[in-house]
Amino acid sequence: MKCSFGELGRVTLTSVACLAALGGLEPRANASGSYTAGVCLMVTAASSGTASYGSNTGCVGFGVGLSFTNLDGSASITTDPVTMDPELTTGLLELTSGNTGDNGSVFASLEQGKLRAGATGGTSQQVSEAVFYDVLHFATTDGATSAPVTVFVHLDGSQTGTGTWANGLDVNFAGATFSYFTAPSPLGFGFSGCCPPTGFASYQVTNLSADGLDFTGVVNVTNGENTSALMALHLACGAGEDCDYTNTGTFNWALPGNVTVTSDSGVFLGQAAPEPASMVLIGIGLAAVGVLRIRRDSGGRRMP
């Protein structure tokens, strides 16, 4: 099933139900049969280059580890941490080009439940994708067969310039999903035709606009349930357009008192403190990311 809601050049955005734009990404088993968790990052422009990072084989279509192809000779990347080894749970990747003006930046964090992305189309379309995914294990402490978990999703961004765009956010939590999109008129903004919120016991949408939304939904999880959590932010920004979603896409939840949860990553939404060495790397990353905005300078767009 193809659930496209907008097309810009070669990119067709799709819902989390089919995830074609993200290479079919979903939490999946590795060779040993255990599930993986991590972050997937990609920035690419046809005239300048492509950079991507995948924590592990769960990042289908992104590859494992860091890769970079410099097409115009002037493209460069910035990463945080500097060494992007496999199995990261927080990461930042930026690509800039002095020749074409194509600039992209992406950030994803399982610890923080955050995605950020920016894309400036210089001479060609700029695509930026950020994803986090994990597998969660729920249990009730009082013998209840199920319990309601409330999830909160926030997205805030902007599109400015003379070009066109097709941007979207996919959310999948315990089988409950929705896909938000924004594109130039007449497509407009909202939920793609195939994938309005489904699987939620109840939900409410506020502040729905061409720049984002606030979403609150209730999902009933069962005792002993092992299920996925995935959020994906995708920007496809045409030449002459500036798409700024560094104001943060966030995922959070409210757990009832009788529910406990663990995750395959061990860190989902600050679930556990990292080891000291990992804490140093994460601290450096957070200091580099800082305020959630984009600044412009001669080196291109950066996430401060």
* Low-confidence stretches of the chain (pLDDT beneath 50): 1-35, 272-304
> What pLDDT does 35 receive?
42
> What pLDDT does 29 receive?
40
> What pLDDT does 250 receive?
97
Cα separation, 117 vs 104, in Å, equals 7
Distances (CA, A) of 225 to 112, 216, 259: 23, 21, 11
Terminal Cα-to-Cα distance of the chain (whole angstroms): 39
Cα separation, 177 vs 153, in Å, equals 12
Measured over the CA atoms of residue 265, residue 253, residue 22 and residue 226, the dihedral's sign is positive
Global pTM exceeds 0.85: no
> What pLDDT does 193 receive?
67
Cα separation, 253 vs 122, in Å, equals 38
Q: How many CA atoms lie within 13 A of 130 on its CB side?
A: 27
| Residue 226 near residue 135, CB atoms below 8 Å | yes
Cα separation, 177 vs 164, in Å, equals 27
Cα separation, 43 vs 79, in Å, equals 12
Measured over the CA atoms of residue 200, residue 203, residue 205 and residue 211, the dihedral's sign is negative
* 287 sits in which H/E element: helix 276-289
Residues 6+ apart with CB under 8 A from 148: 201, 218, 219, 220, 221, 256
Structural tokens at position 222: 């069962």
Dump pLDDT digits (tens) for 59-103: 888 999 999 999 888 889 999 999 999 999 999 999 988 777 888
User: With 0-12 CB in 10 A as exposed, 13-18 as middle and 19+ as buried, what is 126?
Assistant: buried
Cα separation, 121 vs 99, in Å, equals 12
Q: Whose structure tokens read 């860190």?
A: 267
